Amino acid sequence: MKKVLGYTNAWSVTPGETIRVMVSTYGPERYRADLVRVICGDDEPDRDIYREEEIEAPFSGEYPGRTQPIGAGSYAVVPDSPSLAGLESFTVQAWVWPTTPGKGEQGLITRWRDDPAGGFALLIDDSGALAMRVGDGRGGVVEIGTGEPLAARRWYLVSGSYDAAAKELSVRQDPIMSPLESLKAADATREVELSAIADVGAPLMFAAFPATLSTGKAAAQRHYNGKIDRPRLIGRALSAAEGLAVAWDAMPHERNTQVVAAWDFSRDIGGDAISDSGPNGLHGRTVNVPSRGCKGHNWSGAEQNWRHLPQEYGAIHFHDDDLYDAGWEADFEYAVPNDLRSGVYAVRLRADDDEWYVTFFVRPPRGTTTSKLAFLASTATYMAYANYHWMMHERYCEATESFWTTLDKGDVFLQEHNEFGLSTYDTHSDGSGVRYASRLRPVLNMAPKTPLWSFNPDTHILGWLEEKGIEYDVITDEDLHHEGVGLLDSYRAVLTGTHPEYYTTPMLDGLRAYLARRGRLIYLGGNGFIWRCAFSPEMPGMLELRRAEDGIRYRDEEPGEYYLEFTGEFGGLWRRLGMAPQALVGVGTVAVGFDVSGYYRRQEASFDPRAGFIFEGIGADEAIGDFGILGGGASGSEIDAVNPMLGTPSHALVVASSEGHSANTYLVPDETGFHHCAMDGAQNPDIRADMTFFETPGGGAVFSVGSIAWGASLPHNGFDNNVARISENVVRRFLDDTPFPMPG
Ligand SMILES: [Fe+2]
């Protein structure tokens, strides 16, 4: 069992900066913290390649342990105000699209205190029906429900009102009628025997009830799953007809002077603000990044882009398992010294018989480089995969992986701690796809000694660089996103990890500009440069992804919601956006398969003098990479090939191609518009990785292996093998200042 975990406020750190380290223990009363440099994180004992280097640090030592809670689940909150405190008779209403109405009590619009119970709450009750609850703050509680369960994924106008003069409490749910089905409207009214509804002095909350964490921090509970659109608060008990008139009015406060608040969630899309368009300015904030830019109750289908018709995208989709910032208190800080070399580092935490590595990346001092080579850590991809539960959420997992599902300690921990949040490979508890992933929480698969996917196999490449004495700086996707080509320009060559899958537009622009000048890119991975993602400009460390239309994906994106809220850009595959990876690195994904990896054979073009440096020391007929840690070969997991139609440069040399792919290696959906009986690696010659080289007009060059498994072949035979040799040949030539001439 995991007994200690932690995270830092930043993944990329510059010497001179200070990072905060947040730690939580699960059982142990003490833990020890030390600094290590991560060299190779693969700790399989048979391979004997694990390497870390302990570094002296002022924080090294023993610390008291404590369990720090996480309040997951999104909601929105409006601070208390005199306009809320002064309410006597009132109506609350909203358009809602519940996704789990049968999941138990869920707060829709609440201004409530549990103990002693007081305030009001419009909610979904245990029967799945709409209900309104009021309390006098002295233990007296009255509730009325419609008794008619709400249907999932259907729009309703819901309202609750209190008439102080008549002492009546009413609740009402009106479905938006479909021509194809008959959902029931329902309402109920009852007398309220309480002397008054308590003014609990609490904030107003959407999509949850208030709660307090064990640390005393305000949080939420009894979360609502689903959408809320145009919630309103009116200072009078409205009749059904009056309620409808207000609800369908985009600017109700202009026609009804008793409107206290008319929230408009179509404003502020992409951020955490919510705005009240009414007269009292009851603005608020969302917590834990619910999804925005979502179709509202009035969506007509006339537009797919929320920016073009925001008034039809006024819904926020809340989930009870959303998470942005775990919000732990820092245990200690670390001022990164100016002379700490650039690299991958971790705070090693040890408690009882357990340990954890809080991993971060130290780049060179800003504006400088300390090596000619930069390793570009795929932190956007690490984030997209953060804390994935895919093997538990995806029912075809074993069929696609060709393996029995196995769970390590971290996976088991996540099953028991849903509050650590999800990855963009998962589904929310309401079945909708996860669009956001944060690094402000412990990420149980971004550390050494974790399974060989995403982060940890990239350390095979670091281990190889160290073994060969090749100096490198470490920079990250987030740095590239913020600084663009300026980050890369001073490097003679840039080296990717095994799987640089997720790219923001500024990241892609930065790489393209680097190559357009004189840059040299060594792509030692597969399935790279595939999906457009976005970083939030307002919420640091938050990534957004909408898996529109195509590609290997684990769920369908909600139709009509393909545009990213952080940037307004159309989401999906870069290939579908007209910027296929082939137009950047020569190759792009064609197939995936996880049981058996293949190996490369030299092609005719490898004997072209332009490619001579690549194959120094390599025989003409050698199988290249018929060994390796992932599937026993260098070409596997996810593999890429050339395609001139998608932009492979006309002078690119395919110097080697792979063979030996199994019947469990399949074409990716983006490659096939029609299923047929020859979609697997045993039958289809298009299923291959193309090792590709081309020069650029600025004297630069690109070398691509197009395989995730390549890096895992580097350590074979003490890093002495033809995969390692080819990689070293390429790196050494790419670091040589001599320009690459374009072929005549
Ligand atoms: Fe991937």
Per-residue model confidence (pLDDT) at position 553? 85
Q: How far is CA 562 from CA 74, 224, 558, in A?
A: 21, 23, 7
Residue 545 pLDDT exceeds 90: yes
Which residues, including other chains, have CB under 8 Å from residue 447's CB and lie 6 or more apart? 41, 346, 356, 357, 358, 359, 455, 456
Q: CATH number of the domain at 373-377+456-530+573-735, out of 3.30.465.10, 1.25.40.10, 3.40.50.620, 3.40.50.880?
A: 3.40.50.880
Q: What is the pLDDT of residue 554?
A: 79
Confidence of residue 99 (pLDDT cuts 50, 70, 90): very high
Task: State mean pLDDT over 439-460.
Answer: 97
d(CA 692, CA 517): 20
- Give residue 497 CA to ligand 1 midpoint distance, Å: 12
Name the pLDDT band for 401 (thresholds 50, 70, 90): confident
The alpha carbon of 243 and the centre of ligand 1 are apart by a number of angstroms equal to: 48
Phi-psi region at 737: left, alpha or beta (left = phi > 0; alpha = psi -120 to 50): alpha
Provide the pLDDT confidence category of residue 86 given band limits of 50, 70 and 90: confident
DSSP assignment of 112-180, as one string? EETTTTEEEEEEE-TTSEEEEEEEESSS-EEEEEEEEEPPTT--EEEEEEEETTTTEEEEEEEEPP-SS
Both tokens of 46, joined, read 């048979």
Tokens describing residue 72: 């997951």
- The pLDDT of residue 1: 84
The answer on pLDDT for 563 being more than 80 is yes
Q: What percent of the chain has pLDDT over 90?
A: 94
Calculate how far, in angstroms, residue 699's C-alpha sits from the geometric centre of ligand 1. 31
CA-CA distance, 744 to 740, in Å (whole number)?
A: 12
Residue 496 C-alpha to ligand 1 middle, in angstroms? Answer: 14
C-alpha of residue 450 to centroid of ligand 1, in Å: 16
C-alpha 430 – ligand 1 centre gap (Å): 24
Q: Tell me the C-alpha distance between 580 and 602, whole Å.
A: 25
Using alpha carbons only, what angle is made at residue 540 by residues 537 and 544, rounded to the nearest 5 degrees?
A: 70
Cβ-proximal residues to 365 (8 Å cutoff; 6+ apart), any chain = 14, 15, 16, 338
pLDDT band at 392 (very low <50, low <70, confident <90, very high): confident
CA of 454 to the centre of ligand 1 (A): 8
Contact 125, 145 (CB under 8 A): yes
Question: Is residue 55's pLDDT more than 80?
Answer: yes
Rounded to an integer, the average pLDDT of 19-33 is: 98
pLDDT tier at 265, thresholds 50, 70, 90: very high
Distance 659 CA to ligand 1 centre (A): 22
Say how many Å lie between the CA of residue 362 and the centre of ligand 1: 24
How sure is the predictor about 396, in pLDDT bands with cuts at 50, 70 and 90? confident
pLDDT of residue 556: 84
Distance from the CA of 526 to the center of ligand 1, in angstroms?
9
Question: Quick one: average pLDDT of 308-329?
Answer: 98
How far is it, in rounded angstroms, from Cα 631 to Cα 405?
Answer: 16
The alpha carbon of 267 and the centre of ligand 1 are apart by a number of angstroms equal to 33
Chain-centroid distance, C-alpha 634: 28
CB neighbour list of residue 743: distance below 8 Å, 6 or more residues apart: 610, 651, 695
Ligand 1: centre distance to CA 664 (Å): 17
Question: What's the pLDDT score for residue 628?
Answer: 98
Q: How far is the CA of 499 from the centre of ligand 1 (A)?
A: 7
Burial string for 396-429 (b: 16+ CB within 10 Å, else e) reads eeeebbeeeeeeeebbebbeebbebbbbbbbbbb
User: Quick one: pLDDT band at residue 608, thresholds 50, 70, 90?
Assistant: very high
Confidence of residue 391 (pLDDT cuts 50, 70, 90): confident
* pLDDT tens per residue across span 269-296: 999 999 999 999 999 999 999 999 999 9
Question: Percent of the chain having pLDDT more than 70?
Answer: 100
The pLDDT confidence band at residue 549, using thresholds 50, 70 and 90, is confident
pLDDT tens, residue by residue, 496-538 = 999 999 999 999 999 999 999 999 999 999 999 999 999 999 9
Q: Which residues contact 486 (CB under 8 A, 6 or more apart)?
A: none
Task: Report whether 424 contacts 435 (CB < 8 A).
Answer: yes
Q: How far is CA 646 from CA 97, 577, 668, in A?
A: 41, 11, 15
Assess contact for 39 and 464: CB atoms under 8 A: no
Fold topology of 1-67+324-363+386-453: Immunoglobulin-like (2.60.40)
Question: What separation in Å is there between the alpha carbon of 588 and the centre of ligand 1?
Answer: 13
Q: Measured over all CA atoms, what is the biggest interatomic distance in the chain, rounded to whole angstroms?
A: 94
| Cβ neighbours of residue 327 closer than 8 Å, sequence gap 6 or more | 70, 71, 217, 440
Q: If you average pLDDT over residues 76-100, what whole number do you get?
A: 96
- Taking Cα atoms as reference points, which of 515, 543, 537 lies closest to residue 441? 543
589 touches 689 (CB < 8 A): no
Other CB atoms within a 10 A radius of the CB of residue 433 amount to: 21
- Compute the distance from residue 226 Cα to the ligand 1 centre, in Å: 28
Residue 2: pLDDT band (50, 70, 90) is: very high
Distance 462 CA to ligand 1 centre (A): 20
Q: How far is the CA of 272 from the centre of ligand 1 (A)?
A: 29
Mean pLDDT across the chain: 96
How much is the pLDDT for 694?
98
Write out the two tokens for 582. 């082939």
What is the domain partition of the chain in residue ranges?
A: 1-67+324-363+386-453, 75-318, 373-377+456-530+573-735
CATH, range 75-318: 2.60.120.200
* pLDDT at residue 403, rounded to an integer: 85
pTM above 0.85, yes or no: yes
- pLDDT one-digit tens code per residue, 212-232: 999 999 999 999 999 999 999
Alpha carbon of 500 to ligand 1 centroid (Å): 8
Residues 6+ positions from 654 with CB-CB distance below 8 Å: 603, 605, 642, 690, 691, 692
Instruction: Give the C-alpha separation, 624 to 723, whole Å.
Output: 6
Residue 250 structure tokens: 């985009």
Residue 399 has pLDDT above 90, yes or no: no
Look at residue 52 in the predicted model and tell me its pLDDT. Answer: 98
Ligand 1 centroid distance, CA of 543 (Å):
15
- Give dist(CA 70, CA 320) in Å, integer: 13
- What is the predicted pLDDT for the residue at 673? 86
Strand pairing partners for 229? 95, 315
- The pLDDT of residue 613: 98
Identical fold for domains 1-67+324-363+386-453 and 373-377+456-530+573-735, yes or no, is no
DSSP-derived pairing of the beta strands 520-523 and 701-704: parallel
